[in-house]
Amino acid sequence: MSKKVYNNAHDALEGLTFDGMTVMSGGFGLCGIPENLIAALRDSGVKDITAISNNAGVDGFGLGLLLETRQIKKMMSSYVGENKEFERQYLAGELELEFNPQGTLAERIRAGGAGIPGFYTKTGVGTVIAEGKPHQEFDGETYIMETGLTSDLSIVKAWRGDTEGNLIFKATAKNFNPMMAMAGKVTVAEVDELCAPGGLDPNFIHVPGIFVQRIVEAKCEKRIEQLTTRERSA
């Protein structure tokens, strides 16, 4: 068995956590979130986390677990709805927040993983997003500079993986996961299905195993963030 494979999420995070660390957590809403690794991060007791994620989960689930235990000091996100505890902490001045336009956040993470320290974008020009950032004109248009992002730890969720850390994501659960896997100094992946090397079609691998240091097979609840139903027609 590969040295990358761990028995459970708690074992997979052993020795990786420390107070004040930066953590990237994949997912969009509750789609494709590494829910077992988030729970293990909560159980580790690590404090003062800077969390980089599209959103902050919901009350009692996803990154919402870390908000309830006050383990997150700062959130870097593009959307923070659906979480009353997040709202309460932020309005009370108990939680730092850095908003990013969603495409900018994605590109900052991708740039960090590719070793690109900064890039220019028109998104946010003339708004509070641009305050304090370098401005530059290109072809008569004004752009602002954004910096690439990396993390001490990236936790991601994949559909299938092999024991060498190669990952395949399913449908929209791909979202922020591949770029975060590349941007972490250490990346830990949880997967629905773990197979031996050669069990994945190399033409469809989204993240090569070189970017993944640890992997664990885990069962997920796969909650529905907002359930909408309608009455059955006669």
**Residue 106 placed within a domain:** yes
**Residue 142 placed within a domain:** no
pLDDT of amino acid 30: 87
pLDDT of amino acid 16: 98
**The domain containing residue 180 runs over which residues?**
5-116+148-217
**Residue 84 placed within a domain:** yes
Pair 58, 82: CB distance under 8 Å: yes
**Residue 130 placed within a domain:** no
**Residue 31 placed within a domain:** yes
pLDDT of amino acid 230: 82
**Residue 126 placed within a domain:** no
Q: Phi first, then psi: what are they for 90, rounded to 5°?
A: -65, -45
Number of domains composing the chain = 1
**Residue 51 placed within a domain:** yes
**Residue 47 placed within a domain:** yes
Question: How far apart are the C-alpha atoms of 193 and 136, rounded to whole Å?
Answer: 47
Q: What is the CATH number of the domain that holds 203?
A: 3.40.1080.10
Splitting the chain (234 residues) into consecutive groups of 10 residues, what average pLDDT does each group show?
90 98 94 95 97 92 94 94 89 94 97 98 96 97 98 98 97 95 98 96 96 95 76 74
pLDDT of amino acid 234: 64
pLDDT of amino acid 1: 54
